[in-house]
Structure 1
Amino acid sequence: MPAWVCVRCGVQYPDTAAPPASCPICEDEREAVPAEGQRWTHTAELGSDHRTEIRTEEPGLTGIGVTPAFGIGQRALLVRTAAGNVLWDCVPLLDEQARRAIDELGGLSAICLSHPHFYAAHLEFAAAFDAPVFLPRADEQWIPRNSSRIELFDDEIEPVPGLTVARIGGHFDGACVLHWPEGAQGRGALLTGDTIMVVEDRGWVSFMWSFPNLIPLDAETVTGIARRIGRFRFDRVYGGWWGHVVLDDGAAAVHRSAARYVERLRGVRP
C-alpha cells in the first residue's frame, strides 16, 4: 500500500488502501485546500516525474529540494558537524540520488523540523538512515504518522552536541529554529524555515500566522520571537526555500524587522 502524499502541502500520511478523506494541515486556516478539492499522490508516483536536487549552500551545509517544485516547494538543509549530521526540515521525496548524497556526507544522526508544513516525508528519511525525529510537544496534535522514532521535547533540545533547536512559537505554537554556531564561517547561522520568513528584500524578514491567507501575528508574539532568539549569535539566516538567505547582519535584520512589523501593527508609518 502506498504512503499517501498531499499534493497541496507535500506532507506524507500513513499507508492505507485508500487515501485519507482530508488533509488536516491544509484544512487549518494557516494553509488552504485547493479550489478543485483535496488531491493525493503517493511516493512511487511522485518519484516517477520528480527528482531531488542537491546543492551546496556553504561548507558544512547542503540543500535538498525537489524538482520540478512540488507542494509548498521548500528545500531541506543538511547540517554537518563533527558530532553528527542533522536534517533540518524535510521534502516529500527520498529518491536514490538523495540517499546516495546523504550517505556520502555521513548519513543522519537526527531529523528536526521547523513546523508541520515542512513535515513532508520525515519518517521515510528517518527509517532510511535509522535516525530519531525530534518534534516539539506543543505541535503533537499535527503529527500525521505515529512512530517510535519520534521524540518529543518541550522548549529546547540539542539533536547533536553543538546544535540547538529552540521553540520560539508564532507561525505554530511549536514553531522552531535551529542555531548552528559554526555556520557562516564561524559567525553563526540560524535556520528558520518560515517561522522567521526571509523575504524578497534579503536584508529583512517577516512573521505571519498564515502566509497563503495573509493572516498576521500580533505584536506581543512577534516581540516574543525576537526576544527568544536574542541569546543566539548568528550572522546568517537560512529560510525555507532556495535563495531565501540573509547573508550577513542576520541578527540585526531579525530585530529591526520585528520592530518594523510591530510599528505597522500599531499604525506607525515611516
Structure 2
Amino acid sequence: MKTTAYLCNTCGVQYEPLIEEPANCKICQDERQYVNVNGQSWTSLPSINQQHKNIIEKVRDDLYALYTTPSFGIGQRAHLLLTPYGNILWDCISNLDESTIAIIRLLGGIKAIAISHPHYYGTMAEWSQRFDDIPVYIHAKDRAWLTRKDFNLVLWEEEERALWPQIKLINCGGHFDGGTILHHADEDGTLLVGDVIQVCPDRRSVSFMYSYPNYIPLRKREILRIQQLLSPLHYRYMYGAFGHYLKDNAKDITEYSLKRYLRIYE
C-alpha cells in the first residue's frame, strides 16, 4: 500500500512514511508550540512544491539564507554557510525542490546539516537523502522529539562537537535541552543561533525564551548556562532564524542582554 511522509501544516515537521495521517503532531502538542485552533492538519512535500517556492538570499559572501514563499509552517530560515572545508546547512526548512537542489550544488553542495532544535527539523531526512546521504547532526538530548530516523542521523552527546576546522556545535540548552548553536571561528567570529538565542527586531538586543509563541520565560539556571558557554567565544556576527541579524558587536549586545535578563531574577 502507498505510504506518505506527512508534514504538519502548523510546524512544518515531516513524519516517517505512513499509510494514513498521524493522529497528532507531538511537536505541536508540546507547550512550547501549539496545535492550530482549527485542528491538526497535514500535507505532503509534493503538495508544498506546487504551492511554495524557496528563496536563496545571499547574506554575505560566505552565507546564504533559505526561506519559503509564501511562508509555510513556522516560517524560519535555514542558512548555508560556505567554508574552505565544506559547506554546512544550519537548520532546515520544509520545502525542497529541484531548483533549490540545483542552486545549492552550484554553490558547492552540502557536506553536513546541523539542527538547532526540533521546531526546525522540517524535511531534514529528504535534504540528507537528496544530497548524497550527508550526516544530520542533532544533540542526543532531543532524541525523543525525532519524527524520522530513516536517514544518516548523527546523535552527538558532548557539550561541544567540532565538525571540521573552524566549525563547532555547542549544546547550550534553553529552548530545548538539546538546543544547539553553531560557532564559525573565522577571523571575526560568527554564531548561527536559530532562536535558541533570538535576535530582537531592534538589532540592539537578543532574547531567550522557553516558548516564544506561548510567552513562557526561560529559567535562570538556563540563562546562566548560556552565559557560561558563550563567554569564551569570539564572535562579531550573529544570525537568527527570522531574518534578524547582528552585523557588528554581537558579543557585546549578547552580554548586555544576558545581564538584563538576569536582573529580573534579583
Give the TM-score normalised by structure 1: 0.95
Q: How does 1:82-121 map to 2 (within 5 A)?
A: 82-121=84-123
Name the SS of the counterpart of 2:27 in structure 1. helix
* Structure 1: unaligned runs, 5 residues or longer: none
Q: Which residue matches 2:180?
A: 176
Indicate which of 158, 163, 169 corresponds to 1:159.
Answer: 163
Q: Which residue matches 2:218?
A: 217
Q: CA deviation at 1:229?
A: 1.3
Letter in 1 for 2:72: F
Name the SS of the counterpart of 1:56 in structure 2. strand
Q: Which residue matches 2:195?
A: 194
Moved over 6 A (4+): none
Distance 1:75 1:101 in 2: 17
Q: Which residue matches 2:43?
A: 41
Superimposed CA distance per residue, residues 64-103 of structure 1 (whole angstroms, 9 cap, x where no aligned partner):
1111111110010001111111100000011112101110
Q: Which residue matches 1:133?
A: 136
Letter in 1 for 2:142: D
Q: Does 1:147 align with 2:150?
A: yes
Q: Which residue matches 2:258?
A: 258
Distance 1:66 1:121 in 2: 13
Distance 2:250 2:174 in 1: 19
Name the SS of the counterpart of 1:84 in structure 2. coil
Distance 2:63 2:185 in 1: 12
Q: Is the 8 A contact 1:193 1:238 kept in 2?
A: yes
Give the TM-score normalised by structure 2: 0.96
Letter in 2 for 1:49: Q
Q: Which residue matches 1:226?
A: 227
Q: CA RMSD in A?
A: 1.0
Q: Is the 8 A contact 2:129 2:151 kept in 1?
A: no
Name the SS of the counterpart of 1:225 in structure 2. helix
Distance 1:179 1:86 in 2: 12
Count how many residue pairs are aligned between Structure 1 and Structure 2.
262
